[in-house]
Amino acid sequence: MSSPLRTSPQPPTLDDEISALQSKTSTLLTSPSTLALLSSDPKLTSQSSLHQSHHLQTLYRTCATLTLFRAQDPDPNAVDAGSILGLRIEVVSRAKFLRPYYVLFNRPWASSSSLPGPQRKWLRVHRHTVPSCIPLSGLAARYLPSPDKDDTRRKQDLGKFARGVRREVVRYHARLGTVADLRKAAGLGRGGDGGDKSGLVDISPADAEVRHVSVEWGDGRTGRLVIGDDGEVEKLVVVGENGRDREAGRELLGGLGLAGTVKAEEVVRRLAGTGGA
Amino acid sequence: MSRISVPTTAPLPSSLRVNPSSTTVTKILSRLSRASLISVALDWLDEDNLSLATPYLRPDQDDDEEEDDGDFYPPASSPEELREEYLSLQNRKGSKRDVLDRITTGDWRHGVSLYQLAIADLQYLYDHPTSQKWSAYNIVPLKAPTEDDDGEVQPLEADKTSLTIPRFHPSLFLKSLQAQILPDIKAHYNLDRHKTLPLLILRIFVIDSPYNTPLSLSSNGKMDTGSKTILIAFPDGSPNIFISKPTSTGPTGASESKSLRALLVEGIPKALSLPRQRVTLQSTSLTTRNLEGLLDRRGATRGNAAGGGWSIYADEKVKESPLSTVLPSPPLSDAAEEEEQGNGDKKRRERPTVEERVNKRAKLVAQARFGDTARVGDGKGVERVDLVMEDPFEIGGDDADRMDIEGEDDGEEAFRPNVRLTFHGSHVFAGIRQLVECGVIDGEKMPGWMTGEEGVTIGAVRNGRIRGHKGSGL
């Protein structure tokens, strides 16, 4: 954080200095030796405990990646007096934490007298920021069904739901990253037409979920690559002028084996290899 | 061109030329501005489009000079020459009439192809983004058909637990949509990417004729009496679809254009379905003229099910990395702190007057309820919101029997008057936000549906909430 400040020719702005200082004080405030010194000042101890709990929270967020929090619905007519349970899903893409995705639940059956007690506490997805290409409603219908007093076998499982959403979100971002890597390996996407060695002119996602990737060659051949759940190339079809071009498909996979056993990352590595040679 | 017309199920070819004097052509072209007309003509003359929009050129033998004498718009000898002609028109001043005449009686006197009409129509959409009224539909998977004991196939139900996201393949979709269209009407399809928004626009131009020859398009044919245009937009990365209201030329009844839309709403899911993977369209109660607003609520963004004040959770600009060691400041905290200080020091400094504090408080409340949405200039407004109130009327004692003219009484204990609310304006929710900021509406007591967080424009309010939460998609 401080290295760009030192190397930059302009003097650091006040904001930079403040943020650098803030991160230092935060670390200082929570270190055991300072804690011992602070114990006499109530204002500083409360500040320090704030920082400590924040550190604990970020630790959980970093390592567990699924965290819960409480929130308040501002709507005066909200069910259950506006109590909201929030689920925070952390996503890492390209070695950076993205803005987490949120799913916010409420308890619409809290005051319904016809339901047995435990079912009144059941959750329902109220708001969420998960992109529409994640089958959130399907997962909610599976793991967070609405209560039914006649059907006692019904169960809600927030843990399974959260894990399911997280799995889909992570897969989605992994696929997005793979397509970006494929483009990079083929020398596409940085303005120039590139791709002379591989002959590829375009690689782009072809559907909302980025499961299908369309591949285009300079000579008019087009292909479709299907990425599976675990990042394997499920299917690959290349169509040239005279129908299906199996040769080109094998070439793209680089003799790594049949489609279905090859990982998409291996194709990336192979493309990058030929591009560099 | 063939002399006999044979009924066919094929679509209308893009290269089919329409008589330039027909009402459809004049209607489509004359509503464009002069600048747009010229840019459309230049678009037609583009290398890629030339094969489908060939202008009328001078024949190769240059000996018939006398023929040109009476010609007001002498034909050009090459597309390049024509292109330069239009480029110079662009720099000159003149009337729209001149350009229109030049196109219809000069350079494209032998006919304007359906493809050209499609380009011109889309240009109108770019010039007037609010010219179409769009309805958003959600594409949802269906359960596999089941049979009951008598062997009858049960009506298909939406598969709520399905985890597949419907996929859209343009050319496959067109092919199967054509199979769904009845053989006694002919349609021309044109797919185009929207210039600025992440959308794929399909324009369907329908005429009531079983033939796909120029005869069916001739001026005394069916074209002028019953041609209809409908636009379908496919947002990128989102299992939603926007369908416009059909516009028609000629005296077609409202019921007819409604039935065309119904036909399409029925045909589109069949065309989108894949073997063993059927889908259906579900209305999402969102209708607006603003495509950008639609994309914001039904596109590939985070804000689809987090409108209004919830948008703080969807804002991607906010950095919230778990690796940051700095204590986060919750939204509005800086402002809230300032106000608290203001409260405490009021007596000593006497700076903020009561009015100022009330104003500031109203602004803060508006920020809390609306977040960063519903700003006047954000271009994401809806122009009409219709709501039905289904809440019982709170009777204050003696005026219980005062109004039962329009009210439908729901038993003894609850009186539910039939109240319908319609908000109308260029940006309905920005208007409500402004009212909250001025303190006309009490932002803290305002019900949630007034913030637009449900993302619907048609809804029924019960217990102070919009029923069903269709907007959230759950």
Assigned domain for A262 exists: yes
Q: What's the pLDDT score for residue B407?
A: 38
Contact criterion met (CB below 8 Å) for A101 and A130:
yes
Question: Distance (Å, rounded) from C-alpha A115 to C-alpha A47?
Answer: 45
Model confidence band, residue A103 (pLDDT cutoffs 50, 70, 90): very high
Among residues A215, A209, A219, the alpha carbon closest in space to that of A235 is found at A215
DSSP track, B329-368: PPTTHHHHHHHHHHHHHHHHH--S-HHHHHHHHHHHHHHH
CB-side neighbour CA atoms (13 Å) of B225:
8
Our CA-based measurement puts residue B150 at a distance from the nearest CA of chain A, in whole angstroms, of 27
Q: What's the pLDDT score for residue B109?
A: 83
CATH topology of domain B134-143+156-309: TATA-Binding Protein (3.30.310)
**Burial grade of B171 (CB within 10 A; 0-12, 13-18, 19 or more):** exposed
Phi, psi of A125 (to 5 degrees): -70, 125
By percentage, how much of chain A surpasses pLDDT 70?
88
Question: Distance (Å, rounded) from C-alpha B312 to C-alpha A71?
Answer: 12
Q: pLDDT tens, B265-323?
A: 788 888 888 888 888 888 888 888 888 888 888 888 887 888 888 888 888 777 778 88
Our CA-based measurement puts residue A157 at a distance from the nearest CA of chain B, in whole angstroms, of 15
Interface test with B, best of A52, A59, A132 (most B CBs within 10 A): A132
CB-side neighbour CA atoms (13 Å) of B45:
23
What average pLDDT does the segment A232-252 reach? 83
Same domain, A79 and A165: yes
Same domain, A168 and A199: no
Same domain, A127 and A212: no
Burial B46-79 (b: 16+ CB within 10 A, else e): eeebeebbbbeebeeeeeeeeeeeeeebebbeeb
**Average pLDDT over all residues of chain B:** 78
pLDDT beyond 70 at B30: yes
Q: What's the pLDDT score for residue B345?
A: 46
Contact criterion met (CB below 8 Å) for B305 and B473:
yes
- Which of B300, B316, B446 comes nearest A99 by C-beta? B316
**Burial grade of B233 (CB within 10 A; 0-12, 13-18, 19 or more):** buried
How much is the CA Rg of chain A, to the nearest whole Å?
26
Question: Distance (Å, rounded) from C-alpha B455 to C-alpha B449?
Answer: 9
- Using CA coordinates, name the residue in chain B closest to A72: B310
Model confidence band, residue B68 (pLDDT cutoffs 50, 70, 90): low
Model confidence band, residue A276 (pLDDT cutoffs 50, 70, 90): very low
| CB-based contact A74 B236, cutoff 8 Å | no
Question: Distance (Å, rounded) from C-alpha A36 to C-alpha A21?
Answer: 21
Q: What's the pLDDT score for residue B400?
A: 40
Would you kindly state where each structural domain of chain B is located, as residue ranges?
A: 18-57+74-127, 134-143+156-309, 330-395+404-472
Q: State which of A173, A194, A223 marks the end of a domain.
A: A173
Among B212-226, B284-298, B405-419, the range with the most confident prediction by mean pLDDT is B284-298
* Residues in chain B closer than 8 A to A137 (CB atoms): 160, 473-474
Our CA-based measurement puts residue A112 at a distance from the nearest CA of chain B, in whole angstroms, of 14
Q: Is the CATH code 3.40.50.1370 the one for domain B330-395+404-472?
A: no
* Residues in chain B closer than 8 A to A134 (CB atoms): 165
Q: pLDDT tens, A56-90?
A: 999 999 998 899 999 988 888 888 888 999 999 99
Q: Of residues B38 and B218, which shows the higher confidence score?
A: B38
Question: Distance (Å, rounded) from C-alpha A247 to C-alpha A236?
Answer: 11
Q: What's the pLDDT score for residue A89?
A: 93
Model confidence band, residue B473 (pLDDT cutoffs 50, 70, 90): very low
- Which of A54, A101, A133 comes nearest B165 by C-beta? A133
- Using CA coordinates, name the residue in chain B closest to A67: B322
Same domain, A162 and A199: no
Question: Distance (Å, rounded) from C-alpha A90 to C-alpha B276?
Answer: 35
Model confidence band, residue B454 (pLDDT cutoffs 50, 70, 90): confident
Reading the block at residue B298, the tokens are 């039904």
Q: What are the beta bridge partners of residue B17?
A: B113
Strands A124-128 and A92-93, by their bridges, are: unpaired
Q: State which of A149, A173, A197 marks the end of a domain.
A: A173
pLDDT beyond 50 at B465: yes
Q: Which residues, other chains included, contact B243 with Cβ-Cβ below 8 Å and sequence gap of 6+? A: B134, B135, B137, B230, B231, B232, B233, B261, B264, B265, B268
Q: What's the pLDDT score for residue B212?
A: 66
Model confidence band, residue B256 (pLDDT cutoffs 50, 70, 90): low
Question: Distance (Å, rounded) from C-alpha B311 to C-alpha B368?
Answer: 10
Q: What's the pLDDT score for residue B324?
A: 81
* Residues in chain B closer than 8 A to A101 (CB atoms): 302
pLDDT beyond 80 at B393: no
Q: Which residues, other chains included, contact B434 with Cβ-Cβ below 8 Å and sequence gap of 6+? A: B376
**Range in A99-103, A131-135, A147-151, B381-385 with the lowest mean pLDDT:** A147-151
Q: pLDDT tens, B146-182?
A: 766 676 666 777 777 778 888 888 888 888 888 877 7
Same domain, A83 and A56: no
What average pLDDT does the segment B348-374 reach? 82
Assigned domain for A29 exists: yes
Assigned domain for A181 exists: no
3-state secondary structure at position B229: strand
* Residues in chain B closer than 8 A to A26 (CB atoms): 325-327
Where in the sequence is the domain holding A56, given as residue range(s)? 3-62
Q: pLDDT tens, A4-57?
A: 444 445 666 777 787 777 777 777 777 777 777 777 778 888 888 888 888 899
- Using CA coordinates, name the residue in chain B closest to A84: B310
Same domain, A28 and A125: no
What average pLDDT does the segment B337-351 reach? 50
Q: What's the pLDDT score for residue A169?
A: 93
| CB-based contact B162 A55, cutoff 8 Å | no
pLDDT beyond 50 at B344: no
Assigned domain for A147 exists: yes
Q: Is B282 an interface residue toward A (CB < 8 Å)?
A: no
Same domain, A162 and A90: yes
pLDDT beyond 80 at B451: yes
- The answer for A244, left when phi > 0, alpha when psi is -120 to 50, beta otherwise, is beta
Model confidence band, residue B213 (pLDDT cutoffs 50, 70, 90): low
